[in-house]
Amino acid sequence: MNCSTRQFLAFSIVGVINTVVHFAVFMLFLRLFQVPLLIASTIGYCAGIVNSYCINRLWTFKVRSRATVQEFLRFTTVNLLSLGANLVLLSYLNTAIGLGPEFAQIGAIGGSLLVNFAGNKWWTFRTP
């Protein structure tokens, strides 16, 4: 298995963990606290960011250097772009396609995965 394949599989495993966190927090805020759809999704997405940063940095991309503010800012930028992709897809799947919020969110998370992996592999955690 080549390095990129291993990284994508590891990134996907971390993504599953983050998806569970994202979805659980999303549902909690959406259903229990009656927070609007896109805000509930944003809160859920943010809940997984720190977990994702730590695990992907150490396990997926095996970065051994000291973490820097610049690296975390790149990570945050990639995640904001991925969040944007998630919100656009979520809104589209919910309003234009007519999927319920739960199913629309599953599709949106899947779609934003590619943006997130590419940005983190080739920008945030790239090694010289």
Domain residue spans of the chain:
3-124
- Among the residues of the chain, which ranges form H helices? 3-27, 37-47, 49-55, 69-91, 101-119
pLDDT value, residue 115: 87
Alpha-carbon gap, residue 123 to 117, rounded angstroms: 10
Which ranges of the chain have pLDDT less than 70?
127-128
Alpha-carbon gap, residue 17 to 51, rounded angstroms: 9
pLDDT value, residue 82: 92
pLDDT value, residue 128: 62
Report pTM: 0.72
pLDDT value, residue 10: 95
pLDDT value, residue 100: 96
CA distances from 33 to 18, 30, 79 (A): 21, 6, 25
